[in-house]
């Protein structure tokens, strides 16, 4: 007598999956082999990304440490004040340096304990400064014969700087080029707020300038800036360039500006040039 054969189990599910399935008794369906391998690949990829970030940060730190140990790193505020001396035959630089250090305004600024004095361009190593517009290209006899001085209030609250502009940086004859004033305002207002931004550095997002009066060449110029608002990675600053104060007279305002600076997300990897 012939016996009836049982039907063979299906080799694949109705949705086309080749994963084995348990009887419909409530047992858990076994995961597909591909899912486990996908998770493993994700973890491996994440590991390499984190390793790369850590390695890059360590490499950047090592590079700057090496530069600094060889005298090529960025210098402190105090060190910057000792890194410039006019040459014995540079009469213009000698006169300008002596004049700035004898100004009543300078004496007043040096008496204020909340201000930190520096020469920002002299904080740069020579290799870096050589590629700086204001630290190298615009520096020298007839231009900016000595590096500007700056006094910055801690926390990036305010700044005062003094710069001598010679007679070879003109737009119209005898008048300082308006583009140079814009550059001074851009750098000065930025430097003012660095202390209020993450990692003490920011880039210009917006700069608005109003030119008030022609600026005579061969002048000592005072730049004053104040940080007016800070929100996370953003800082708003206002400032002006004016003449040296004269007893009994208000300074002449040559240009005024407002600006917005933003600390970039990669700021931690940038050198501090303030």
Q: Give the active site residues.
A: 186
Q: How many helices (H) and strands (E) does the chain have?
A: 6, 7
Task: Give the Cα separation of 39 and 46 in Å (integer).
Answer: 11
Q: Which two tokens stand for residue 135?
A: 């630290």
123 neighbors 74 (Cβ within 8 angstroms): yes
Question: Which position has the token pair 């597909």?
Answer: 32
- Pinpoint the alpha helices (H) of 70-203: 77-80, 91-101, 104-110, 126-129, 178-193
**Pairing of the two strands 219-231 and 203-211:** unpaired
Which two structure tokens, joined as six digits, stand for 193?
């707020």
Biggest CA–CA distance in the chain, Å, is: 130
**Region of 200 on the Ramachandran plot (φ > 0 left; ψ -120 to 50 alpha; else beta):** left
Give, for 18, the enclosing helix (H) or strand (E).
none
């Amino acid at each position: 007598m012939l016996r009836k054969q049982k039907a063979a189990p299906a080799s694949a599910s109705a949705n086309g999956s080749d994963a084995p399935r348990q009887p419909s008794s409530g047992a858990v369906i076994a995961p597909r082999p591909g899912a486990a391998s996908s998770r493993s690949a994700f973890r491996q990829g994440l590991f390499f990304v984190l390793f790369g970030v850590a390695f890059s940060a360590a490499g950047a730190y090592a590079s700057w440490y090496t530069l600094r140990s060889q005298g090529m790193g960025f210098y402190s505020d105090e060190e910057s004040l000792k890194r410039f001396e006019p040459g014995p035959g540079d009469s213009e630089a000698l006169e300008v340096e002596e004049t700035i250090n004898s100004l009543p305004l300078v004496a007043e600024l040096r008496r204020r304990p909340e201000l930190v004095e520096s020469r920002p361009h002299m904080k740069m190593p020579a290799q870096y400064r050589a590629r700086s517009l204001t630290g190298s290209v615009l520096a020298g006899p007839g231009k900016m014969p000595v590096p500007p001085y700056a006094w910055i209030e801690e926390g990036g609250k305010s700044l005062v700087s003094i710069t001598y502009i010679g007679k070879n940086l003109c737009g119209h004859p005898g008048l300082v080029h308006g583009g140079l004033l814009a550059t001074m305002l851009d750098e000065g207002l930025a430097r003012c707020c660095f202390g209020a931004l993450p990692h003490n550095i920011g880039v210009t997002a917006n700069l608005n300038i109003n030119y008030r009066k022609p600026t005579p060449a061969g002048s000592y110029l005072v730049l004053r800036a104040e940080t007016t608002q800070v929100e996370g990675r953003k800082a708003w600053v206002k400032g002006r360039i004016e003449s040296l104060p004269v007893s009994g007279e208000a300074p002449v305002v040559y240009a005024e500006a407002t600006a917005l600076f933003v600390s970039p997300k990669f700021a931690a990897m940038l050198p501090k040039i303030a």
